[in-house]
Structure 1
Amino acid sequence: MNWNQLTTVEQLQAIKEESFNQPVLIFKHSTRCSISSTALSRVERNWKQEAVGELKPYYLDLIANRPISNAIVEEFGVEHQSPQVILIKDGASVYDASHFDIRFEEIAETV
């Protein structure tokens, strides 16, 4: 799988616009948290592009870019969790999960 790095608040507007053409996934990861590392590893191990079609995955390093997470709360109305996945379609969050509730199979079903 190929992560797209989410490193600026300005990218959120582009992600919102992209989501009208293809679904977008944001994975919020804390590099200091073992639960976050486990959740990330599970998603990466189970990732099958054919199961999610044109889903575009973004990776957010929360330690390096916490203000972006705060902007996600405001832009998409999803309370901050870590780790967390947020699926964006047509400019809005349609699915989110955190901690050990993050499962590739559920992401694929929602896409």
Structure 2
Amino acid sequence: MQKIETVQQFEQLAETNPRFFFMKHSLTCPISSSAFTDYQAFLNNNREEDGYYLAVQEARELSNHISEKYGIKHESPQAFLFIDGKPGWNASHWNITEKELSKL
């Protein structure tokens, strides 16, 4: 799992990777902490999947960019599955679980 911090890094990722998971993680929210733990477990158990994240407090510009570009209201925590440069799935809060991610 790799941390993405800039709009440029994200745009390059979206252009070059046909399928990847992405999470907006809040460093101060206990719900986000729980979701992030499940996200990490999912990626550890599914090594063929590519996973990335941003820390909302450290990358607000990128977080806002994703919301504005794709017309998806910002939430934190929030997870996405990007397919061919567009969100094919997204969920927030308690809906981000290892079980739900494994269905994708």
Pick the TM interval, shorter chain: 0.7 to 0.9
Query: Displacement, 1:24?
Result: 1.0
Matched AA of 2:21: L
What is the alpha-carbon distance in structure 2 between the residues aligned to residue 46 and residue 58 of structure 1? 12
What is the alpha-carbon distance in structure 1 between the residues aligned to residue 30 and residue 3 of structure 2? 20
In the alignment, structure 1 segments of 5+ residues that lack a partner are none
Residue in structure 1 matched with residue 28 of structure 2 by the alignment = 32
What is the alpha-carbon distance in structure 1 between the residues aligned to residue 93 and residue 14 of structure 2? 24
Q: Secondary structure at the residue paired with 1:68?
A: helix
Residue in structure 2 matched with residue 49 of structure 1 by the alignment = 46
Aligned with 2:96 (options 92, 97, 102): 102
Matched AA of 2:97: R
Deviation sequence 1:40-94 (CA, Å, 0-9, x none) = 11222344125xx3x2111100011111100001222221110010110011100
Runs of 4+ in 1 over 6 A off after TM superposition: none
Matched AA of 1:26: F
Deviation sequence 1:1-26 (CA, Å, 0-9, x none) = xx211111111211211332xx1111
Matched AA of 1:16: A
Identical-residue share of aligned pairs (%)? 32
CA RMSD of aligned residues (A): 1.5
Aligned pairs, number: 103
Length-normalised TM-score, structure 2? 0.88
What is the alpha-carbon distance in structure 1 between the residues aligned to residue 2 and residue 102 of structure 2? 18
In the alignment, structure 2 segments of 5+ residues that lack a partner are none
Contact residue 22 and residue 53 of structure 2 kept, 8 A: yes
Contact residue 26 and residue 76 of structure 2 kept, 8 A: yes
Residue in structure 2 matched with residue 65 of structure 1 by the alignment = 59
